[in-house]
Structure 1
Amino acid sequence: MAREMQKNSMFIEQTPETTDNGYIRKNFDDDGRIKRSGTLITASAHIITAVIGSGVLSLAWAIAQLGWAAGPAVLMAFSFITYFTSTLLADCYRSPDPITGRRNYTYMDVVRANLGGVKVVLCGLAQYGNLVGVTIGYTITASISMVAVKRSNCFHKNGHDEKCYISNYPFMIVFACIQIILSQIPNFHKLSWLSILAAIMSFAYSSIGLGLSIAKVVGGGGHVRTTLTGVTVGVDVTAAEKVWKTFQAIGDIAFAYAFSTVLIEIQASPDTLKSSPPENKVMKKASLVGISTTTFFYVLCGCVGYAAFGNKAPGNFLTGFGFYEPFWLIDFANVCIAIHLIGAYQESIY
């Protein structure tokens, strides 16, 4: 009898739903972790932060390669694809039942629960390969933005015809040193202000680029040529270049929507979604809100940017110097890009 009571006592102590005295733990979820408190609004904010990145600055160039007909159509197509895959993944957060099943905290947990076997290894290789590529891309893009600040000041001082060549390599080293230092901070990715700062930086440089494009369109800014099919073979590019740049533009648009692979991590985040109502239903609504918002912003940036620069739109109208003045605003936008990527790098490696 005493042994039976001891077993019951041990069971009570080890059950995450109860305290040592057997009372319900109101501050913990069904998995023993701190109770999640997020809502539709917080989840939508996380999604918008995750989707909108420096890829938005290349959308004007992508639209220029595809033209008025295919450009917006490809943007809309990828928004629907992203939303569809997001709804499928939202149901995979819990398994085997999408409402009451065991939680999967990472993308790889989902693969393990639903597919298993060698597919988990393949998923790991794909994720780590993608991580290496993304972090290299962050390093290069951040260094280009840092260089753009110096080049902007050089152009302002010496004129727009000056070459103002500055090497990227010292700034890559600076970026790497910053990441080494930040990596020593425990649980850096859990700092609540990090996502807020990243969101502010994203909207700041995107809005600056959009605002400058609108100003260029309204102010005339010289005659620009736009077409239904984008850059013209024999005028702007060769036939081979047209094919290559078309696929590159589609890739840029796909990269701008690179969100589905982190959906599970967002859904599992402590401040993203509470257990009731069911997470998968709320996440589907949040995905619709988040992706609709970012698609509207993307179409606006891409189309207005194309209207401003035409078929000669730069690959990135902030670092590619589609604008030279006001130089201080260009500097600020590029600093925002660098700060955003510093935080994004840390988020990605965690």
Structure 2
Amino acid sequence: MQNNTMSIEQAPETLQNSDIRKNLDDDGRPKRTGSVTTASAHIITAVIGSGVLSLAWAIVQLGWVVGLAVLMAFSFITFFTSTLLADCYRAPDPVTGTRNYTYMDVVRAHLGGIKVQLCGIAQYCNLVGVTIGYTITASISMVAVKRSNCFHKHGHYVKCSISNYPFMIIFASIQIILSQIPNFHELSWLSIVAAIMSFAYSSIGLGLSIAKVAGGGHARTSLTGVTVGVDVSGSEKVWRSFQAIGDIAFAYAYSTVLIEIQDTLKSHPPENKVMKRASLVGVTTTTLFYILCGGFGYAAFGNKTPGNFLTGFGFYEPFWLIDLANICIAIHLIGAYQVFCQPIFGFVEGQCRQRWPESKFITHEHTIKIPFYGVYYINLFRLIWRTIYVIVTAVVAMILPFFNDFLGLIGAASFYPLTVYFPIEMYIAQSKIPKFSFRWVWLKILSWACLVVSLIAAAGSIQGLAKDLKTYKPFRIQN
């Protein structure tokens, strides 16, 4: 009877342990549920930012031939290097190896040494810069809604000056709430909404451009872009071309969050194969929209194309459609902000848990029952530190309203190492490619060519930043 009782008592525990194991992945973490759809949504959210509407300006500087060629070249480079990086998620084998949860972990597993620290500096500086830049860009789109209504009511030539600061505060308040989403695995729904918004405002911008072209309005375009001596000086043409190449290159970069996206995928089929398919969907979709929006935007406005034809008021009417597009931009950037800040949150919180594992303030999860939702887990450290982070990014955005120029510089510094150098070097190490073999040589040529592009873009960003600093007035309202 005693033995029977013991076996009866152990059965539920054994069954419970079996159920727990079924809900865990091979690394002991909760089963991942990501798919091609969710990964593609994350990629589109990360890549198609509001910058899609400024690509027409980039094509203006380069012209039809070079502009479209550069777009296609960087779409290929981005997809190719992303497939190399996807194979490095597990080490040493891309299918059966040990998982690596962050970009730094991947570099540590394949290269090690000081390269891990260099990767961390490049990645997290870029992520912080992007979140600050998105705060500025979202506020500009919100301001554009009010300005559009002002122009519709009072006329297109009325000066409608509206401060960005209240809208930065609104954006930050929303992010404080969304930042309590525990980790990247819970972001799928937000990324899908943001991806839909990116399609919406890109389609609106494209539709308005097509309507303007179909309307018969003549806009001067050329195969070589803006004309020296007519539109710009010789030096301006050079610097603007550098900036345009940098804008296009960085418009594709999502390597900073690729590993975190891949870590959300189911184990079967293998994560690297699913990630490659998602990258193909994301990059192809992005390239299609970039070519359509950039090309038709240039055709609609010619060499007078504004930096952003929705917030820069290339269009004034129909004002309600302009409002809808800018609202979609703001909603998209709300989701994109989370895609880029979640790796920062994960890194800081992981480091703190390792350093102070006994601290209940850092490790303890409190349960709160929410009607119609269920049990919500809240961590005090996560609540406080993430709130502080969002506030700091908003304050920096307010202090430096031209921070997008800094962002271009940060992007120039991070594009080469994160999108090109590390994926290529890790692939060479993982595949054990012999030195000076054909494959080794052309991979190195690609790497060095992208380094030159990154340096050119950095030079253009520095020149633009110096120009802004000369004309900057600290208390001028920025629109």
- Common fold, TM-score beyond 0.5? yes
**Aligned position for 1:5:** none
Residues 57 and 206 in structure 1, CA contact (< 8 A), matched pair in contact too: yes
Helix, strand or coil at the partner of 2:22 = coil
Match 2:71 to one of 75, 80, 102: 75
Match of 1:233 in 2: 228
**Further displaced range: 76-85 or 248-257:** 248-257
Contact 1:233/1:242 (CA < 8 Å) preserved in 2? yes
- Residue 264 of structure 1, aligned match among 241, 249, 259: 259
Q: Report the structure, 1 or 2, having the larger helix content.
A: 2
The residue type paired with residue 61 of structure 2 is Q
Q: Is the 8 A contact 1:70 1:229 kept in 2?
A: yes
Cross-structure match for 2:136: 140
1:40–1:178 distance in 2 versus 1, CA, 3 Å: closer
Which residue of 243, 250, 260 corresponds with 1:248? Answer: 243
| CA distance 1:224–1:132, shift in 2 (3 Å) | same
- The answer to which of 113-122 and 103-112 deviates more is 113-122
More relative contact order, 1 or 2 (CA 8 Å, 6+ apart): 1
* Mapping of residues 78-89 of structure 1, within 5 Å: 78-89=74-85
Matched, 1:224 2:219: yes
Query: Structure 1: how far apart are the matches of 2:307 and 2:17?
Result: 63
2-structure distance, mates of 1:260, 1:145: 26
CA, structure 1 residues 187+303, in 2 after alignment: closer, same or farther (shift >3 Å)? same
| 8 A Cα contact 2:197 2:331, kept in partner | yes
Structure 1: give runs of 5+ residues left out of the alignment.
1-12
Answering whether residue 115 of structure 2 is matched by residue 119 of structure 1, we say yes
CA contact (8 A) 2:53 2:205 kept: yes
Residue 310 of structure 2 corresponds to which residue in structure 1? 318
Structure 2 partner of 1:285: 277
AA aligned opposite 1:287: S
Aligned with 2:146 (options 136, 146, 150): 150
- Given that 1:210 and 1:304 are in contact with CA atoms closer than 8 Å, whether structure 2 keeps it comes out as yes
Instruction: Give the counterpart letter for 2:157 in structure 1.
Output: D
One-letter amino acid of the counterpart of residue 45, structure 1:
A
* Aligned-CA RMSD value: 2.1
Corresponding letter in the other structure for 1:241: E
Instruction: Please name the residue that 1:6 is paired with.
Output: none
The separation in 2 between residues aligned to 1:277 and 1:144, in whole angstroms, is 42
Bigger drift between 63-72 and 288-297 goes to: 288-297
Q: How many residues align?
A: 329
Q: Verify the 8 A CA contact 1:314 1:322 in the aligned structure 2.
A: yes
Taking a change above 3 Å as real, the CA distance of residues 131 and 42 of structure 1, as seen in their structure-2 partners, is closer
Picking from 207, 210, 225, the partner of 1:211 is 207
Distance in structure 2 (CA, Å) of the matches to 1:38 and 1:346: 17
Q: Which runs of 5+ in 2 are unaligned?
A: 1-12, 343-479
Give distance in 1, aligned partners of 2:18 and 2:36: 33
| 1:162-201 to 2 correspondences below 5 Å | 162-183=158-179, 185-187=180-182, 190-201=186-197
Pair 219,188 (structure 1): closer, same or farther in 2 beyond 3 Å: farther
Residues 19 and 25 in structure 1, CA contact (< 8 A), matched pair in contact too: no
> How far apart are the structure 2 equivalents of 1:104 and 1:28?
16
Report Cα offsets for 1:62-86 as digits up to 9, x if no partner.
1111101101000001001101110
TM normalised by structure 2 equals 0.65
Is the contact made by 1:314 and 1:320 (CA closer than 8 Å) also made in structure 2?
Answer: yes
Report Cα offsets for 1:237-275 as digits up to 9, x if no partner.
111110111111111112210212211111111xxx322
Answer yes or no: is 1:55 the counterpart of 2:51. Answer: yes
